[in-house]
A and B are shown apart, each in its own frame.
Chain A
Amino acid sequence: EIVLTQSPGTLSLSPGERATLSCRASQSVSNSYLAWYQQKPGQAPRLLIYGASSRATGIPDRLSGSGSGTDFTLTISRLEPEDFAVYYCQQYGRSPPKTFGQGTKLEI
């Protein structure tokens, strides 16, 4: 099973600033099968990024994903008030199980 470790646990920033969230895998994630999700309180997760760097439908280009192998990053270039939430990375490789990181809380 691939274990994903996200850092930091909590990130305190202000609107307009740049956010950098990290996701490290315990072994290489094949074909960059790595996704990022956003979850707000009381809501379901929302897919942001898949294939490590492809934006899902409707996701603004302020959000970008990068990385390969075992190290991945989600960057939000200019934080908007609606970006403050919890972010999870997920690996969805060919062999189950799919696994999630423990989450990074992005707070004001």
Chain B
Amino acid sequence: AQSVTQLGSHVSVSEGALVLLRCNYSSSVPPYLFWYVQYPNQGLQLLLKYTSAATLVKGINGFEAEFKKSETSFHLTKPSAHMSDAAEYFCAVSTLNQGGKLIFGQGTELSVKP
């Protein structure tokens, strides 16, 4: 079985500061990993995904994440936060032959202070 743990249910940063949202996974088989963002009263939008190619994955809106097998981590970063980045972020895992079913972490709410 797979699982995802997101460290920190709330993260607050100042505008222009580094954003770091932590995600650790557990999987007995090679995982596929995803970061989704949810803006208030909207559905989820894919930011980026790791599918066993390059370990450093670049996504939309300046976000990137690095797959580290030895640490079972897939942390999301952005060098400089913008006010529009305020949202809830979800890390998710799936595996081959699971039909694409996503197992989500509990989410991290990002606040950006002016």
> Do A and B make up one complex?
no
A residues in contact (CB < 8 Å) with B? none
B residues in contact (CB < 8 Å) with A? none
